[in-house]
Chain A
Amino acid sequence: MIPPPRHHSDNLALLSRPVPFSPAAAPSSYTAASDFSPTATGTVAASSYSGKLAAAAGADGEPGDDVAMSPGRVGRGRVMASSVPASGLTTVSVVTMPPGITEKVGGASVEVQNERPANSKPQKEKMTKAERRALQEAQRAAKAASKGEGSKAAAAGAGAVSSEITKPNKAVKPSQKKSDSASVAPSEKKGPGGERPPEKERKKDVPHPRMQYDDESRVEKAKRKAVVKQTEARNRVELFRHLPQYEHGSQLPDLESKFFQLDLMHPAVYKVGLQYLYGDVCGGNARCIAMLKAFQEVIKEYSTPPEKTLSRDLTTKINSYVSFFTECRPLSVSMGNAIRFLKSRIANLPLTMSELEAKTTLQLDIDQFINEKIILADKVIVSHAVTKIRDGDVLLTYGSSSAVEMILLHAYELGKQFRIVVVDSRPKLEGQLLLRRLIGKGINCTYTNINAASYIMHEVTRVFLGASAVLSNGTVYSRVGTACVAMVAHAFRVPVLVCCEAYKFHERVQLDSICSNEFGDPDVISKVPGREETIGLDSLPSSGNLQLLNLIYDATPSDYVSMIITDYGMVPPTSVPVIVREYRREHLWI
């Protein structure tokens, strides 16, 4: 029996187990965040969650329940960590997860919550006008630096912050900027401040356009300052000239050799960056959690250099790490929103707070974000969604989404009788992972390729899809192929339900999949495992005529989506901008 082809990064990742690996403490905390299966029944979570929203405090009662319910979780998490260090951050949607590992329980914040003090909400103190101005200029500088990497519209968060403080003072700005760059330059090899020319756009409420890669001068500047050397792909598809198309597989050796020069790259960040580069960590929730955990490590080991304020320095550090992540793999919307949250939290730290207090506060904030926005949100989504599953249903899902998997497993545990159709497509073949987990639980499954979606859609009663992001015009931005499945379902009048946590909503809009997308390794398209000899596309002389295009995402128009299930409830796609706007403040800043 031929085992599925292992991703080549598996061996590489195992071989290049460099020094930076933190001791067991780090992996265990990572592992704990690995999976999102609901630990408690949905109803408990729902009531407590809504209570939490209303009270906006007292988050500790709920987590305590988690601890009480499954005491053995922590130990299990530790055991798992030591055995699988490489995939410690794996989640339901990871490509290289070995099949034998049973589901780890998602008690991400279990360990940390034990240490959490009673009331973790810091109060914002009044600042003098000069202080506020200084703070705001620093934030603006930091945001301008990191904006181009694609962290989605950090300025929107900054806009709200600055509006609370004062109007900008342009005279202070250049001096601030210089001091910033001056302080940054000696401390870091990469200068995020100088990476882009100072942005002219100061419109805070409009999300900034992300860096367009057909602007030669900007691309050159970015390349000079980049940590990860990217080589342009051989045959670029002209239609996508505005997006980066790089050669895959050439980055790791370069990055490895550079590691010891990058004294200021925190090992946790480096590790997570490598995991992104090789697709070990895959899926919006997983990537976000991995990043936030890495930042927690950074904050824990951070110490303010003399003559600097914690917030500014930490912000610039975070920016540099963010641009490193972006070079490894472009940021997802979930990550972008999390970064925005973190920066706003840093910016809101009162200046009089001691360093230790500030660090602790930030770490707790991160935990709370993960807990509330991801883990609890998933529980709420599951509780809503299982009401839509009836006995005798045939449910179709595409690819492997963590939220959808949780829903299906929970419905099965509740005893509902249904059948699942898993639709899969090349080149990632993520559906096989989901299939494996579902079959392991004993659920009746049908597996097919996306081309046969029309064939199978006759028997299907509901379609559940996951999303990487939902944009403000109702477009669902998710794995390539989702749009096809939604379209076929629409043609056969099958309802399409998209399950997405609210923190993945974004105010940007997009009409089609060309304006903004991401590319995978193009060679994967031409290499079909097991068929190389018959097809032999690689043996072609690399003439300029053949281009290989491996899109990662696509945009599903809102009219194909019947309903979006979020932690705010079950809403139509038209309500997304409403949620983004009305709940924005609470949405990202707890």
Chain B
Amino acid sequence: MPDVQTLVNEFLFKLKKRKIEGSHATARQTTILLRSVISQQRIPYTHQAAALIDAVKAVGEQLVAANPVELAVGNIVRRVLHIIREEDLSPTTVAIAGLNVSAVSDDEGDTDHDDHPVLSAAAVAAASRNTLRPPSLQTLLEDLPDSAAVPHTSSSGGDSEGKSKSADKSSRSRRLKHDVIEAVNELIEDIDTCHEQIAEQAVEHIHQNEVILTLGSSRTVLEFLCAAKEKKRSFRVFVAEGAPRYQGHLLAKELVARGLQTTLIADSAVFAMISRVNMVIVGAHAVMANGGVIAPVGLNMVALAAQRHAVPFVVLAGSHKLCPLYPHNPEVLLNELRSPSELLDFGEFSDCMDFGSGTGSPLLHVVNPTFDYVPPKLVSLFITDTGGHNPSYVYRLIADYYSTDDLVLQRKPAPVN
């Protein structure tokens, strides 16, 4: 599809040149792009899911390669793959599990999907999990009514795909794509509303006369704090400026505009001030499978200070930031070094450096990393749009959103012979 290809190329270009900033924007655009890819993908009668998966993987591989540090891209690609797999399994699983949801009822049931889409996805997910795992007590007990329920759900290809197969195929092909696109739409909606859902939980965590510390700027944190302010909680915020990008200034400006008592401090004063702070609330760039956080630079220092003073370190992250990968050497592999000009002006040290000296290797190195890794033991709580979780629970959330087959996005090369 030339259309899709141009879209993909445009997006690749934007990723490579880092024109898109922030995991939220990246995730959203990736999802929209993949939706276009899916909708314009022609799929054969058999093995539709495989075809879709292949197509998405092909595009996804390129996207991830364009900006490997932006983990949200990979996350979304894997989410979509998981959705495809789940939607593929859904006709069979619904029958087996005997759920009383007629969401996947037949033929003209397209409109029915709209009635309870959320339920279908969750139910389908649960059902697929039940089938894929070894039988547990629950499934054993549910088997009995299943066999009775099978005749009720008339069509929707049962375990024996015999008679209804031919009738279903055409409808199923339509349905699979449709379902997938439905689910991807939900995903987009989730990404859009993640801030509100996280902010709803603000009232449980912020009470009266609290002092909150944050570093840099995160839209999630801003919404979180403002939601608490709406509910008439009184608190003060210390914002550390977050050199060298100084996004703390922007956050401070926003908070002051919304009427919060804000104090702007330098990053070096974090240890000095943290003894008077009740809670540290920060955003994240990505949350890894072990519960570790890839966060803007400087947050490891804040986390260590918080641990020293027994101050809770709370990380706000939308579910699109949850990455199923385990961080190996994250400071190097999942980090980006930015331009040294943010720290030193070009040529500022040219007068004292002797470029004529023998070895030729530069005397001055300037290091300007973008991200910091915060190990899971320093994090007290993750607040996502699904609620609050411990770092040790993160691996279960991953099972909700991702399939194990998708962890490696590279397709196997075609056999040579």
Contact = CB atoms under 8 A, between A and B. Distances in A.
Interface string A505-545: 00000001110010000000110100100011100100101
B359 to A, nearest CB: 10
Interface residues of B, number: 60
A549 B265 contact: yes
A455 B369 contact: yes
Interface in A410-453: 424-427, 432, 435-437, 439-440, 442-453
B344 A439 contact: no
Contact of B253 (A436, A458, A536, A555): A536
B331 A484 contact: no
Interface stretch (A1-9, A127-135, A163-171, A370-378): A1-9
Determine the main DSSP class of A at the interface with B.
mixed
Nearest to A479: B268
Contacts of A439: 349, 352-353, 363-364
B360 interface: no
A454 B348 CA distance: 26
Contacts of B246: 528, 531, 535
B43 interface: no
A264 interface: no
Nearest to B297: A451
A240 B272 CA distance: 12
A443 B363 contact: yes
Contacts of B363: 439, 442-445
A353 interface: no
Nearest to A237: B263
Given A484-B271, A514-B276, A426 B243 contact: yes
A527 to B, nearest CB: 10
Given A442-B363, A549-B263, A1 B301 contact: no
A488 B304 contact: yes
A525 B264 contact: yes
B51 interface: no
A456 B268 CA distance: 16
A417 to B, nearest CB: 13
Given A442-B363, A545-B256, A455 B249 contact: no
Interface in B364-387: 364-369, 372-373
A481 B270 CA distance: 8
A467 to B, nearest CB: 15
A304 to B, nearest CB: 46
Contacts of A481: 266-269, 271
Given A442-B363, A447-B365, A554-B271, A455 B335 contact: yes
B32 interface: no
A537 B253 contact: yes
Interface residues of A, number: 63
Contact of A545 (B259, B300, B369): B259
B126 interface: no
A425 B372 contact: no
Contact of B266 (A447, A458, A513, A525): A525
Nearest to A559: B308
Nearest to A553: B272
B275 A454 contact: no
Contacts of A94: none
Given A480-B272, A513-B272, A535-B250, A455 B347 contact: no
Contacts of B308: 487
B275 A512 contact: yes
A540 B301 contact: no
Nearest to B340: A447
Nearest to A422: B364
A425 B298 CA distance: 12
A256 to B, nearest CB: 30
B348 A455 contact: no
Interface of A: 1-4, 99-100, 237, 239, 424-427, 432, 435-437, 439-440, 442-456, 458, 480-481, 483-484, 487-488, 491, 512-514, 517, 525-526, 528, 531, 535-537, 540, 543, 545-551, 554-555
22 contacts: A1-B346, A2-B345, A426-B241, A426-B266, A444-B363, A446-B365, A449-B267, A449-B297, A449-B343, A450-B243, A454-B372, A455-B335, A480-B266, A484-B301, A488-B300, A513-B271, A545-B255, A546-B252, A547-B263, A548-B264, A549-B263, A551-B272
7 smallest beta-carbon distances between A and B, as pairs? A481-B268, A451-B298, A1-B347, A513-B272, A454-B300, A425-B268, A554-B272
Given A451-B298, A484-B305, A514-B272, 11 more contacts: A447-B367, A448-B366, A451-B301, A484-B271, A488-B301, A513-B272, A528-B246, A545-B256, A546-B263, A550-B266, A554-B271
